[in-house]
Amino acid sequence: MSSTDIPTDGTTDHQQPAAESHLTSFAGGIAESGPSPERLLTLHHRWSELLDRALEVALSTTPEGEEADAVGRAWRRTAETNPTLHAVLAQHLHAPRVSPELRARHERDLRTIALAARMGEASDPTEELVRIGATLLALTGYPATPGPRPTPAAVTDRSQNTLTMVH
């Protein structure tokens, strides 16, 4: 896959579905041929780019003291606008034998979430920041830490406009 297959910068909200269609094809390939560590890491890299962009936008307009809510909304928005990407990564992060590198990258995202929400300091222990980030995401309705493998089904709660994996 070349770097031009999935837009990495300058993607506007109305372009997001095109990015998702590229990810759908790529994720479909994972389902058919089995996940290679490289493919999963490529997908996670894209997820991190999208999440970082969403955090930057959300936090740029958020009043002081409301960072945690903005971070939760940014995570939900990223997952909802990229459901295939989110579902594939969630499935593999919850697999019994998740790759150490994929887990480490996910934990890096959790630390970013904790710091962006101003719920920790960069000098705090890594494990504490990961726990804080996972807790914040759990409050948004998304599983954030590896555990029992979720079923492939996803349920949309239209009253809160969130996507949650069914356990």
Residue recorded with tokens 């920041």: 129
Nearest-5° Cα angle at 67, 120 to 107: 45
Nearest-5° Cα angle at 90, 87 to 93: 150
31 has a pLDDT exceeding 60: no
166 has a pLDDT exceeding 90: no
What mean pLDDT do residues 111-130 have?
A: 96
51 has a pLDDT exceeding 60: yes
Residue ranges in the chain assigned as alpha helix (H) = 16-33, 37-60, 67-81, 83-93, 100-116, 126-140
Query: pTM for the whole thing?
Result: 0.68
What's the pLDDT band for 5 if we cut at 50, 70, 90? very low
What is the Cα Rg of the chain in Å?
Answer: 15
Query: How do residues 136-158 score in pLDDT, each as one tens digit?
Result: 998 877 655 444 433 333 333 33
What is the pLDDT, as a whole number, of residue 43? 94
Instruction: Map out the domains of the chain as residue ranges.
Output: 15-165
What mean pLDDT do residues 113-140 have?
A: 94
The larger pLDDT score, comparing residue 165 to residue 49, is at 49
What mean pLDDT do residues 45-70 have?
A: 95
What rounded mean pLDDT belongs to the chain? 74
Query: How do residues 81-120 score in pLDDT, each as one tens digit?
Result: 999 999 899 888 877 788 899 999 999 999 999 999 999 9
